[in-house]
């Protein structure tokens, strides 16, 4: 469990009393907790900060936490996610099955279940996080570092790492600009020129052949 001492948690919960009590316990195990009461805050925090674990309630006033988790899984298929729920709703359970959750905890949370869920997160971190790409590069998802074929490490910014993860997760198809706007910029208004500059700066880091442009369609990983 010592590995958790270096991890940041995004905690999405709108019940202030429950959140305060839960975070008092969680603080004993992790480095930092980002607490959000709604999905706008959750999305903005995930985009801006280094988040290692997500703990999210399902019912957030008029919002559904599973919608947020589904959007996260389009970006990151590996980050440990723990879902909290106030009842055993079969619809939520079936919807949660394909989301690769570390745990689905029912309130009130039992201490034993809480610890087991954290242990599952630890297990996720100890799995192999490096992906060998067809072009000979290696991408370390945990440290957000790309290793070129000669072993040179390239530290990536959060949006750069998110884009490379998007390319990897969609290796069999073209990553469109709409996909980039959703996954990287959270539907912000981004100009064509800003996207082009983003790609140009990234190519300067990783090499011009790392990202292949499909004219008028989008991008793919270079081979």
Query: Domain coordinates of the chain in residue numbers?
Result: 2-126, 130-221
> Facing residues of 83 across strands?
56, 104
- On the question of a common fold for 2-126 and 130-221, the answer reads no
Share of the chain above pLDDT 90, in %: 51
Are 113 and 105 within 8 A, CB to CB? yes
For residue 146, give both structure tokens: 């790309």
Nearest CA among 84, 79, 82, 83 for reference residue 162:
79
Alpha helices in the chain, H assignment, sequence order: 16-26, 39-48, 65-75, 90-96, 111-126, 158-169, 177-183, 192-206
Banded model confidence at residue 213, pLDDT cuts 50, 70, 90: very high
The whole-number pLDDT of residue 128 equals 47
Signed CA dihedral, 192, 164, 219, 210: sign only: positive
Q: CATH homologous superfamily for 2-126?
A: Response regulator (3.40.50.2300)
Domain 130-221 has CATH 1.10.10.10: yes
Model confidence over 34-85: pLDDT tens digits?
999 999 999 999 988 889 999 999 989 888 899 999 999 888 888 999 999 8
Are 212 and 219 within 8 A, CB to CB? yes
For residue 67, give both structure tokens: 């919608």
Please give the angle made by the CA atoms of 126, 131 and 132, to the nearest 5 degrees. Answer: 140
Model confidence over 186-195: pLDDT tens digits?
888 889 899 9
Instruction: Supply the DSSP symbol for 185.
Output: S
Higher pLDDT, 208 or 125: 208
Average pLDDT, the chain: 88
């Amino acid at each position: 469990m010592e590995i958790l001492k270096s991890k940041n948690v995004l905690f999405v919960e709108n019940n202030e009393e429950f959140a305060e009590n839960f975070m008092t316990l969680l603080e004993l195990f992790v480095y930092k907790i980002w607490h959000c009461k709604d999905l706008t805050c959750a999305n903005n925090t995930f985009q801006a900060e280094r988040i290692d674990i997500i703990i999210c309630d399902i019912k957030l006033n008029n919002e559904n936490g599973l919608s947020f988790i589904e959007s996260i899984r389009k970006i990151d298929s590996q980050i440990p996610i723990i879902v909290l729920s106030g009842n055993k709703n079969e619809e939520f359970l079936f919807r949660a099955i394909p989301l690769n959750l570390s745990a689905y905890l029912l309130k009130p949370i039992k201490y034993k279940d809480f610890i087991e869920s954290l242990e599952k997160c630890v297990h996720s971190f100890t799995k192999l996080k490096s992906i060998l790409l067809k072009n000979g590069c290696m991408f370390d998802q945990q440290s957000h570092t790309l290793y070129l074929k000669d072993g040179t490490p390239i530290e990536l910014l959060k949006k750069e790492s998110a884009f490379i993860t998007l390319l990897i997760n969609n290796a069999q198809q073209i990553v469109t600009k709409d996909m980039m706007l959703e996954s990287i910029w959270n539907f912000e208004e981004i100009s064509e020129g800003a996207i082009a500059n983003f790609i140009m700066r990234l190519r300067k880091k990783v090499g011009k052949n790392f990202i292949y442009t499909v004219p008028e369609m989008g991008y793919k990983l270079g081979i």
